[in-house]
Amino acid sequence: MSDQHHIQVSRTARYFTLGTPGPETRDVWFCCHGYGQLASDFVQEFECIAAPERLVVVPEALSRFYVPEGPGFHAADAKIGATWMTREDRDAEISDYVRYLDALYDDVFSKTDRSSAHVTVLGFSQGGATVNRWLMQGKARAERLIMWGSLLASDIDLGAAAKLFQTLDLKIVYGERDQFSNEDIIARYQATMDDAGIPYDLLTFGGGHRMDRETLRRLAAISS
């Protein structure tokens, strides 16, 4: 019979930014992409809110893979995506990305003053559960969490979450034509949140499972 073991290894993680951290930085966003995306693509969604006082940080998940798109998907021009985790060895993968995001947070705030910055954490789709677990399990602090096309992770302690969200502004954003959601799912989820005493604001836009730049601009204006 085989035995399972784990060791921790050093990895090189990639991230992209809009803006430069420094003494003028007042608004910092950490934005995690969804399943099968890359940070190099996802960061472009935030160009519409670029501003001199704003720093947008977009980390890339540690596990990349070829995205099947028909025969020959390992070709030189094949699409590549990344995932934050899978069900395989999930607890270790969650611990790894929590440590990774904590290290990134520390690196960013070694270059700018945390006490003078408003921090927004945004997660799209799979990235929503990722940032939710990060703020619950990690060391980072934020003033606002935006769950975009995503709900709180199913494995979180709702009691602990309720305490966290008394001091953390929670926004839930979804497209009215999101193929992974519908009004019944959202209504049931709202009931769960209300029962747990978790305060939140719900925002919608007329689109599918995607980012929406007009909604982003509205959210950026609130944090300015």
- pTM, to two decimals: 0.94
How does pLDDT run across 199-218, given as a tens digit for each residue?
Answer: 999 999 999 999 999 999 99
- What CA–CA distance (Å, rounded) separates 94 from 24? 33
- C-alpha R_g of the chain: 18
Q: Residue 30 pLDDT more than 80?
A: yes
User: Residue 13 half-sphere exposure, CB side, CA atoms within 13 Å?
Assistant: 22
Q: How many CB atoms lie within 10 A of CB 13?
A: 15
**In which band, very low, low, confident or very high, does the pLDDT at 57 lie, cut at 50, 70 and 90?**
very high
pLDDT of residue 118: 97
Q: Token digits for 171?
A: 């926004």
Read off the pLDDT of each residue in 152-169 and give the average, rounded to a whole number: 86
Q: Residue 33 pLDDT more than 80?
A: yes
Architecture of domain 15-223: 3-Layer(aba) Sandwich (3.40)
Q: CA 102, 45, 220, 210 torsion: positive or negative?
A: negative
How does pLDDT run across 79-101, given as a tens digit for each residue?
Answer: 899 999 999 999 999 999 999 99
Plot region of 70 (φ>0 → left; ψ -120 to 50 → alpha; else → beta): left
**Chain center to CA of 35:** 11
pLDDT of residue 212: 96
- What CA–CA distance (Å, rounded) separates 14 from 99? 14
- Amino acid at site 134: W
Q: Which residues pair with 170 in a beta bridge?
A: 145
Q: Where are the domains of the chain?
A: 15-223
